[in-house]
Amino acid sequence: MSRQLSQQEIDAVFQNKQDRKREAPAATFDFRRPDRIPKSQVRAIHLLHDTFVRNLVSSLSAYLRSYLTVNLVSVEQLSYTEFLEGLPSPTCLVSLGLRPYDGNGVLELNPSLVFPILEMLLGGTGKSSPTLQRDITEIEQKLLDGLFRIILHDLREAWKGVTEIDFTIESLETEPQLLRLLAANEAVVAVGVEVRIAETVGMMNIAMPSIVIKMMRQKFDQQWSVRKTHATEAEQARFLGLIREAALTVEARLTGLELSVRDLLRLGEGHLLTFDRSVGSPIELLVNGRQQYSGQIVSTGRKRALLVEQLRKAPGQGSTKPELARSLERPAG
């Protein structure tokens, strides 16, 4: 059954189409930053630096001999100018080499952290250190060398899961606007880390050029792809080769009696200890303290040996040891 549409119904159809077009999401593209990396890679970098901060907690706690907490606050893409504008002035800025990749990264440590750490390195507690707004002296820079070596070591270890990067210190500045390593509009991946030492809280910021990270995209894909659940024969052979030289402790143990100290002190020449087991009872063979095999004692030349007769199906579960008689007696006559 057909009918003719009214003009109002026709207008309503066209109006709905126009509304749907306006609601369709548009993909934005910033032509000033063509080297931005995909969000999936940003998430992978976030996971990578989660590992970095966990390692840094233990490393800095041992180095400073004080309890501290380290939290990953943010991983985001910014222009190099936006990154520098978010830093305090003066501050502690380190230019990082990224060998074998071209370009430089930046490591920044807030003054609210630098001066308490310096006090702790000189024997103080770092709790009552006031927030100072001044440049770091050359002597203080030398004192911070050990701290930066620890941070860069943990950073290098965290990135090993993706690629080998040799983070090195190339220069140190105190004014953010003087560290012109990249173009103003060049995109960087900025990592913000919060460090809390006693009542002192400060930020450590790391920036790496997005164009350098884009060069590692294939390595990220290999690292975060789903791995096979079963090892191949070649992998099994490689693992076997790695553990072939491992040392194990193997014992063929004939378990003795359990005696009280009183009975032990009464032992003397002529006493007879009886075992509630036959000569042919199996002897347990222990590997690293766990029962793995059973067998019989045999002779090989002038030595004693164990002839393996059975592999235990469930090592460590249950007990197959023969019970021993706990008796102490003196023969008559």
Say which CATH number the domain at 277 has.
2.30.330.10
Query: Is 123 within 8 Å of 216 (Cβ atoms)?
Result: no
Task: Give residue 35's pLDDT.
Answer: 56
Is residue 161 one of the residues assigned to a domain? yes
Residues in the chain with pLDDT < 70?
A: 1-3, 5, 17-36, 126-132, 221-231, 255-257, 276-277, 313-333
Q: What is the pLDDT of residue 18?
A: 64
Cβ neighbours, 10 Å, residue 77? 19
What is the reported pLDDT for 316? 44
Based on the domain organization, do 185 and 273 belong to the same domain?
no
Residues 136 and 262 in one domain: no
With beta carbons less than 8 A apart as the criterion, state whether 277 and 257 touch.
Answer: no
Q: DSSP class of residue 24?
A: S
5 found inside a domain: no
Instruction: Give pLDDT, residue 121.
Output: 84
Q: Are 68 and 57 in contact (CB under 8 A)?
A: yes
Helix, strand, coil distribution of the chain in percent, nearest 5 = 35, 25, 40
Together in a domain, 205 and 265? no
Domain limits for position 272: 250-311
Is the domain of 182 the same as that of 267? Answer: no
CA distance 9 to 23: 21
**Strand pairing of 283-287 and 250-253?**
antiparallel
- Are 217 and 301 in a shared domain? no
How many domains does the chain contain in total? 2
Regarding whether 74 and 192 lie in a shared domain, the answer is yes
CB 158 within 8 A of CB 59: no
Residues 184 and 286 in one domain: no
Please check whether residue 22 lies inside any domain of the structure.
Answer: no
Domain-embedded: residue 282: yes
In terms of Cα–Cα distance, which of 283, 277, 271 is closest to 310? 283
* Residue 32 domain-assigned (yes or no): no
Helix (H) or strand (E) holding 64, with range, is helix 39-64
Do residues 94 and 198 both lie within one domain?
A: yes
**CATH code at position 200:** 3.40.1550.10
Q: Read off the pLDDT of residues 43-91 as tens digits, 9 standing for 90 and up.
A: 888 888 988 998 898 888 888 888 888 899 988 888 888 888 888 888 8
Residues 118 and 73 in one domain: yes
Residues 80 and 125 in one domain: yes
